[in-house]
Structures are given as structure tokens and as C-alpha cells.
Structure 1
Amino acid sequence: MTQECLDGTLRTKVLLIGGTGFLGRHVLDRLSTAGMEVTVVTRRPAAVPAGHGVAELHDRAPRRAQFASMINRLAPDSVVNAAGEIWRNDASLLRAANTELPEQLALAMADIGSTARLVHLGSSLEYGPLPHPQATDESCPEEPRSEYGRTKLRGTRRIFEIARKASLDVVVLRIFNAIGSNMSPANLLGRTVQTLDRARRDGRPARLTLFDLRQHRDYADARDLAEAVLRSTVSRRLAGVPVLNLGTGRAGSAYDLVRGLALASGVEFAIDVLPAPEGGGRSLAAGWQIADPTLARRHLDWSAARTLPETLSWIWQTAGEGQAQPVAGCPAEGT
């Protein structure tokens, strides 16, 4: 049954790519509670919660043809791409997930003349670094410093190139450091949860270790970000607004996160801060980054609702629910 959503539009059927990854699972939950009919596109159908539609993605078949067939058959009102590669530092894997997959999805929608809105989850690391205390808005230079950021930006640009030629309805949401329940153990907070939980069960203090990266980031609650995705699927106010930044506009450090989570757990702890490693990972190039979410407030009537202590408390309270994947499958920034 068709349901009127948020601002009066009638977008109720959503095709969700990457709905079994960290952020994708929160998006799936929010879309479902809003009354959306969601079909999850995944290579792991067993990981999709009961009660949701599933479209299995097969590795041996061309992505473009599979996507076109799914969209033709299901006729979604919106397509949300929450898939991507984050943690494995392999150039071919990053390129396949962050550049080629969104390109194939956009080409498939162009092939069949789809009128569905494509909501693509991008990354704050598609931008270049800015000095403290400047906030990153949508007009800031796109100068990524990591291979992860470069592959994400190439994916975004290919989507826009295809959209211009085929008149697709596209919005890119650039995520600033999503945190929430059931994060990958490859993530700093995911590892911290595991360490605290082991210490709690063993009845001993937890010894927590982190690198002294001296970075400050904009950490947003995954539930707030999922709300923004929902609003992006239904809003009628996005014409001509191709990119929106999603963040809190506030900065925190890795030390703040680890200490806050340990305090929320109630477990006795000590923190060892080690010298930062030589070289750089996906986010070491920038020492400061926060979002300017002005456009998201204006066009989605959205802003981050939860405080960092609330989010950290939720992460601890829900520790152990579900199975966090060692390799996250969503383009959400972490530590």
C-alpha cells in the first residue's frame, strides 16, 4: 500500500545496495520503520534480516546487466547505494567497490531510462584538507589525499557524468565519519568495544592502545545519517542540489572517542598513546576536518540530533548485537 512520506511525496519502494554493511544496516532499519518497501541487493543474502526483500548480486555476471534487470523488475522509486570498500588497503578492491560499482549502477539506470532517484553515499575524504577551524562545505576543493578518497571521488564523478547525459535524478551524500553499533573490528571503536568487553567478562581493567594521530574529525551517529538518507529518498527540494555534506559541525579526537566509550562502559581502563606510524593510511593526510551541514539543513530539514556521549553510550549498550563484519561494506568514515 502506498504511503505518503515526510513532505508529501510518494516514494515507497527502495532498492538498497550494500544493506548488509555497517551503515547500510542502519539505513535499512530506518527506511523500514518509515514504511518503505525495501529490497536489499547483496552478495550475502543470508545476512539480510527476515522480512526484507533480497536481490542477490552474483560475482560472475556483469554488474550493469544485473542492476538493470533488478531495477526493471522491481521498479523502485529510489535506489540507494551504501556499498563500498574502506578497510582493505588494496587498490584493485578500492577501485572495484568505490568507482566501478557506482559507475555500473548509474549506467544500468541510464540504459533503461530509470526515473528513480539515485542516492549515493560518498565520503568526506573526497575533499582536500582544510586548516583549523575551517569547516568543509560543498564548494571546497575535491583534492583527496588517500587512495580511498580518490576512488570514492572517481565514483562520484562518473555518476554525475552519466547523470548529465541520461538526465538521471542523483544526489550524493558525503558522510563525515559515521559511528554506531556493530562497527567492524578494523575500526578503532570496534576494536575498543571488543577490548572493553573482554576485560568486563574477565573481571580485569582494560588496557586500550591508540596512535597519537593528533587528528580531529566530525563523528556522526549512524542513526542520524540513516535519517538523512531517508529524507534524501523522498525530498522534492533536491533539484539542482547534487551534493550534500552530512556531519555534526563539531570536532572530536580519537582519544575523545576511546575515553568516552570506556567511560560509558563502566569498565576500569588505562589508555596507552603510541607515536603515530610513518606513512599514511586512508585519512592520515588531514589533521582537521568537520562538516558544514548548512545545505543539508536547508534542503533536507536535517541536522544531527544525537550528542557524542549519547552515541557512545548506545554503542556500548548494543555491543554484541548482530555480527560486525571484519571488512566493512559501506562508504562511512571511521577512525
Structure 2
Amino acid sequence: MSNSTPRLGRGTAPERVVVLGGTGFLGRNLCAALAAAGNEVIAVARRPPTTTPGYRFRRFDVLGGGAAELAALLAEERATALVNAAGAVWRGSDQDLTDANAALVDVLLDALGLLEVAPRLIQLGTVYEYGNPAGAVDLRECSPAAPTSHYGRGKLLATEAVLARDGRAVVLRLSTAIGPGMPAESLLGSVARQLADAEGLALVELPILRGRGDFLDVRDVGDAVLAALRTPEAAGLFNIGRGELVGVGELVRRLIDVSGVPARVVTRATGGSRRTKGFEERRIAREAAGQVLGWAPRRALTDALRTLWHDISIERRRHA
């Protein structure tokens, strides 16, 4: 693990950053990181935040509002940067996962095309866009992309559209982020809630946990976005991951240990994430992000699990 921090490139002045999907898991954490770094942040989403954030919020539905209204919002806010953290991840039908991730990006690209001076776009992609490319050992930015899940297909369509239409844009292809605010539909979010709701021994019901994955503290994702903002000459695609594989079952055991809740895991034969379908164990090569953006992950996964558990504990006490 590196102790490096995102380097300051030529773009060190504070930005006016609009974050689409600013109240979701990634968006909420990104807004906090961007604001803490001194940027003026405007979170844009269909649903308001559940707590009072340290930045402004505007309610807007990108797909419903359309390109002209989004362009007007960006012009009104005098945005210098636009981060897209919106899209369907866990909820909705298979077709929803394809359409929401791809169609939304088409609208925002059309909106940028309507502006005389457009903000710089940072699109959040996913390593699940790679699928299972034949012959690849490490997944690099030049590795072929052949996703087999609806989620991966939608995100790949979005990546291709951004790279084809915006020569200044950066696409950050993220591994699986973990940390505070993980939704109940996610594996670790579900485990944390089952532990928090237990009285005495927790019976944690899970699907069969197979394989390993590349997991990343969501605060390191925030650092990656800041690094892209601070490197205005950077453009194109960058993998953002730890570059190491960790067993899914091991992460669950670590979360149980962090919680301090006595627990027994009960395995069910069915279930699993549609997001990860068809994705084999491959190391995510992150050297390009280090060389161009000066970025490397700084936080241990156990720290990410602690922040997840702390957040869930506060949420449960608030609603007790």
C-alpha cells in the first residue's frame, strides 16, 4: 500500500464541481471529499440527501429533464467540472441497468455540446466493463472489454460514448468501492445491517461466497477524482483499484470482527450479484493512474470496513 497523496498538477485552483448522483453511495462520499479539498460542490440528484451536507444540493432528474435543462443548470452554476456518479447499480431490471447507465451519459454529453464553455467531465466507470477478455492476465486500459452482465454493458456503452465525444474527458474505471453509505443491496452493506440489527448472536444470511475481488476504500476513489481534477492535461481511461485480490469471504469475516458482534454465517444456495456476473478473478493494473495522475490507494481495507460499520451503527441508533 502506498502512502502517497494525489499530486498537485497545474490545476490547483478550487473548482466549481457539479456531481451528478450526488446523494448516492459514491456521490455522497465524493461530494464530501471535493468540498473538504476546498472546491465549491453542487450535488445534483433526483432525491435529496438524508442528512444535512456541507455543500449545496439541487434536485434534478437528468433523464427526465433532458439535455437543454441540464445545460442550463451547468451554465447557471458556472460549473468548471462535472463528475458523473449517477446510474443504476443494484436496483431495477436488467434492462434498467443497461439503459440508465448508457442513456444518462448520452443526455449529459448532449448537454455539454450545447454549452459555449463546457465543464471538464470525469465519468465514473467500472472494471466490470472488462468482462472476461480472452488471454488477459492483468486487466489494463488496453485490455479488450467484453462485459457479460447488464451492468457492465451499460457502463461500457457510457465509457465508449464519453471517449468518442469528449477529448478532454477522464473515465475512471473503478474497482469495487467500500465504505460508509453502502446500500442494503450490496453484500457488505447487507452484512453490516444484519449485524447492527442483531440482538445477541447474529445469524448472517449470505449467498455462497466464492472467489476474490479488487476492493477499494471509497475515500481513495475521492482522491482519484481530486487527482484527475488537479491534472488538467490528463484525458482518457484510467483503472482505479488496489491492484490486489482479496477473498470475498475474508472481507465478510473482517467486517464481523470489526463489528464485535458475535455472529454465525448461514449460507443460502441461491442469490448473488447481477453486477459481478461473468467476471473472473483478474488483477486490476493501476500503473497508468500512478504515472499520469500521481494517484495510488492509501487506505487499508480494514479502515474502510470500520467506516462502514461506524456509519451503519449511527444510522441504526438514529432510527431506534
Match of 1:23 among 10, 23, 26: 26
Residue of structure 2 in register with 1:182 after alignment:
181
Take 2:118 and 2:67, find their aligned partners in 1: how far apart are those partners?
Answer: 17
Aligned match for 2:215, one of 216, 219, 222: 219
Indicate the SS of the match to 2:204.
strand
Give the aligned partner of residue 205 of structure 2. 209
- Report the equivalent of 2:59: 56
Aligned residue for 1:157? Answer: 160
After superposition, the Cα gap between the structure-2 partners of 1:132 and 1:188, relative to the gap in structure 1 and judged at 3 Å, is farther
Q: CA deviation at 1:52?
A: 2.0
What are the superposed Cα offsets for residues 285-311 of structure 1, whole Å, 9 maximum, x if unpaired?
123133111011111111111112222
1:215-270 residue CA offsets vs partner (Å, 9 max, x unmatched):
211000001111111111221340xx410111001111221111010011111122
1:114 maps to 2:107: no
Alignment of 1:44-193 (within 5 A): 44-47=47-50, 49-58=52-61, 61-129=64-132, 134-163=137-166, 168-193=167-192
Q: Structure 1 residue aligned with 2:299, among 296, 306, 325?
A: 306
Give me the CA root mean square deviation: 2.4
SS of residue in 1 equivalent to 2:256? helix
The 1:33/1:132 distance shift into structure 2, 3 A limit, reads: farther
Residue 35 of structure 2 contacts residue 54 of structure 2 at CA under 8 Å; is this kept in 1?
no
Match of 1:293 among 286, 300, 313: 286
The answer to whether residue 252 in structure 2 is matched with residue 249 in structure 1 is no
2:308 pairs with 293, 311, 315, which one?
A: 315
Structure 1 unmatched ranges of 5 or more: 324-335
The change in CA–CA distance for 1:58 and 1:138 in structure 2 (over 3 A counts) is closer
Q: Which runs of 4+ in 1 moved over 6 A?
A: none
Paired residue secondary structure (1:118): strand
Which residue matches 1:329? none
SS across alignment from 1:62: helix
Aligned position for 1:284: 277
Q: Specify the code of the residue in structure 1 equivalent to 2:87.
A: G
Q: Does the CA-based 8 Å contact 2:102-2:157 persist in structure 1?
A: yes
SS of the aligned residue for 1:142 comes to: coil
Q: 1:251–1:191: structure 2 CA closer, same or farther, 3 Å change rule?
A: same
Structure 1 321/19 Cα, relative in aligned 2: closer, same or farther at 3 Å? farther
Give the alignment partner of residue 272 of structure 1, picking from 253, 266, 271: 266
Measure, in 2, the Cα distance between the counterparts of 1:232 and 1:287: 28
Aligned partners of 1:72, 1:51: CA distance in 2, in Å?
Answer: 22
**How much does 1:86 deviate?**
0.8
TM-score normalised by L of structure 1:
0.85
8 Å CA contact retained: 1:80, 1:119: yes
Structure 1 match to 2:230: 234
Asked if the contact 1:213/1:276 (under 8 Å) is kept, the reply is no
Name the CA shift for 1:47/1:263 in 2 (closer, same or farther; >3 Å). Answer: closer
DSSP-derived class of the 1:303 partner: coil
Could you list the per-position Cα deviations for residues 124-153 of structure 1 after superposition, in whole angstroms to 9, with x for gaps in the alignment? 111122689932110111100101110111
Question: Larger deviation: 125-134 or 287-296?
Answer: 125-134
Bigger mean CA deviation after superposition, 284-293 or 31-40? 284-293
TM-superposition CA deviations, 1:29-85 (whole Å, max 9, x none): 000000000111111235473442233214785321121101221221111000010
- 1:40 paired with 2:39, answer no
Q: Output one character per residue of 1:134-182: Cα deviation in whole Å (capped at 9) or x when no partner.
A: 321101111001011101111111222322xxxx520000110011112
Give the partner amino acid of 1:110.
G
Q: How many equivalent residue pairs?
A: 309
Contact 1:17 1:81 in 2 (8 A): yes
Distance 2:308 2:180 in 1: 5
Look up the match of 1:332.
none
Question: SS at the partner of 1:302?
Answer: coil
CA 35–316 in structure 1, closer or farther in 2 if over 3 Å, else same: same
Stretches of structure 2 that go unaligned for 5 or more consecutive residues are: 1-6
